[in-house]
Amino acid sequence: MERNLKRMATMHRMQAKGLEMFYQNGYFNTSIDDILKELSLSKGGFYYHFNSKEEYFISIVQQLLFRKVYSQLVAPIEGKEDPLHTIADCLDKSLETAELNFLDYGFELGNFINEFNGKHPEVMRALNDILKVWEVCLITVLQKGKTDGFVSRHADSEAIASFIISSYMGIRTLMVDGNAKNLRYKYMSQLRHYFKLMEHNETV
Amino acid sequence: MERNLKRMATMHRMQAKGLEMFYQNGYFNTSIDDILKELSLSKGGFYYHFNSKEEYFISIVQQLLFRKVYSQLVAPIEGKEDPLHTIADCLDKSLETAELNFLDYGFELGNFINEFNGKHPEVMRALNDILKVWEVCLITVLQKGKTDGFVSRHADSEAIASFIISSYMGIRTLMVDGNAKNLRYKYMSQLRHYFKLMEHNETV
DNA sequence: AGGCTTCCCGACAAAATAGTCGGTTTTACA
DNA sequence: TGTAAAACCGACTATTTTGTCGGGAAGCCT
């Protein structure tokens, strides 16, 4: 058992540092050597645990990135009532974290999708899987919101979900180099306006 | 004069091919050699015209990318009346081009901003300059829309502009690997709903 | 202690990378 | 037509990159 623990510990250490550096510099602009230097680990050590840079990256995506997105964007709204307010609060919280993060480089998932878009199908599949989980969660919770009387029955849950995702991905990108605080405020104000549209307000 | 023409022609050829390949594969994943091979040009030829890869890229951004964004996203709305409908139509047209483009890799400007975000200040400046032009145009036309009675006086032009930009950047990213046609339709429907909110509709 | 598996080292190979430089071709023009 | 400048060539250097491999250290079980 001690064995397995050590293995897990090392791999996790490698993955965590990898995510950190790929996020900061991008996948293609980060070399295995760069990462290993930071980890004080050797080439042999790396290739003992992973077969290639790409496989390494995919494992990071499936394990670390998935959990990160899930805990930040999915879990806080999953199964909740009053979806519109819940979603808005969840996104605002995410933006707040980004705003306060001195070393923010945007939305990890979004950045990687951008970097791999249209190529590297294996990697894209892993990234799209995460996106899909988020999307499905949004749609589900919006649909439930309809039956629970929080969301207008005319609202198009799928379209709303896509709109939320795209706007969030975009604002995270803009916030990196712009006035994050101001952008966050502006974004949230517009998003909340937009959300008011589909509140259940049929006066019957 | 023939001299200058040839110079311009060659440089333009290099820039055009560079934009094409940087767009397809990303800046860091495209080597000078790759580009030169496609151009049937030599190393010496390249470094005669440009001093470095970065300078080369910046020249591409300032000349080709700027014009591209300008003609597609700025010119069609600049000075126009009824800004909300004009903007919506303009974005829809852009999305249509992307949708029909068999080789779409997202929003060029957005992709590059993503790739350089937080690093390479020189490059980021050039990219942000373009973004700024677009943003200012949006704000201006929205403000004018207020005085002309097309846009509600309570609308926050700056916030709307940011919201438009971020959502557009996001949807372009999503459209690459998703069902572009469907995404475009969903996006435009939500955007138009959102726009309805700020139409001038004070019944006095 | 002996042997076996797991884990890790670091030198090495092979290819790719940005950029340099001396020389050659092309072009303008006197 | 001669000549000088502009435009281009391609071999070369430096470094970096991913990935391999033979071997050694550490832990585990008997």
Residue B170 at interface with chain A, using a CB cutoff of 8 Å: yes
> For the segment B113-145, what is each residue's pLDDT rounded down to a tens digit?
999 998 899 999 999 999 999 999 999 999 999
> For the segment B149-169, what is each residue's pLDDT rounded down to a tens digit?
999 999 999 999 999 999 999
> For the segment B55-110, what is each residue's pLDDT rounded down to a tens digit?
999 999 999 999 999 999 999 999 999 999 999 999 999 999 999 999 999 999 99
Task: Please tell me if the domain spanning B1-50 has the same topology as the one spanning B52-196.
Answer: no
Residue A23 at interface with chain B, using a CB cutoff of 8 Å: no
* Beta partners for residue A151, in sequence order: A199
Give percent of chain A with pLDDT exceeding 70. Answer: 97
Between chains, do A170 and B169 touch, taking CB under 8 Å as contact?
Answer: yes
Looking at CATH, the fold of the domain delimited by B52-196 is given as: Tetracycline Repressor; domain 2 (1.10.357)
pLDDT band at B204 (very low <50, low <70, confident <90, very high): very low
> For the segment A104-143, what is each residue's pLDDT rounded down to a tens digit?
999 999 999 999 998 899 999 999 999 999 999 999 999 9
Residue B139 at interface with chain A, using a CB cutoff of 8 Å: no
Tokens linked to A167: 């706007």
Q: Which residues of B touch A105 (CB under 8 A)?
A: 117-118
Mean pLDDT of all residues in chain B? 95
Tokens linked to A157: 């849950």
Interatomic CA distance for residues B137 and B80, integer angstroms: 11
Position A179: which residue type?
A: N
Interatomic CA distance for residues A202 and B195, integer angstroms: 21
Looking at CATH, the fold of the domain delimited by B1-50 is given as: Arc Repressor Mutant, subunit A (1.10.10)
Between chains, do B160 and A113 touch, taking CB under 8 Å as contact?
Answer: no
Residue A163 at interface with chain B, using a CB cutoff of 8 Å: yes
- DSSP character string of chain B: -HHHHHHHHHHHHHHHHHHHHHHHH-STT--HHHHHHHHT--HHHHHHH-S-HHHHHHHHIIIIIHHHHIIIIITTTTT-SSHHHHHHHHHHHHHHHHHH-TT--S-HHHHHHHHHTTS-HHHHHHHHHHHHHHHHHHHHHHHHHHHTTSB-TT--HHHHHHHHHHHHHHHHHHHHHS-HHHHHHHHHHHHHHHHHTTB-----
Determine the pLDDT at residue A2.
63
Give percent of chain B with pLDDT exceeding 90. Answer: 92
pLDDT band at B201 (very low <50, low <70, confident <90, very high): confident
Between chains, do B115 and A177 touch, taking CB under 8 Å as contact?
Answer: no
Helix-helix angle A157-177:B180-196, to 10 degrees? 80
Given phi > 0 = left and psi -120 to 50 = alpha, else beta, which region is B200?
beta
| Strand D nucleotides with an atom less than 7 Å from a protein beta carbon | 6-12, 16-23, 27-28
Check if residue A3 sits with its Cβ under 7 angstroms from strand C.
yes
Q: Strand C and chain A: which residues 22-51 have CB closer than 7 Å? A: 40-45, 47-49
Disruptive mutation site among A165, A173, A187 for chain B (greatest number of B CBs within 10 Å)? A173
Parse chain B into domains and list their residue ranges.
1-50, 52-196
Determine the pLDDT at residue B2.
64
Q: Give B199 or A161, the one with higher predicted confidence.
A: A161
Q: Which CATH number fits domain A52-197: 3.90.950.10, 2.40.50.140, 1.10.357.10, 3.30.460.80?
A: 1.10.357.10
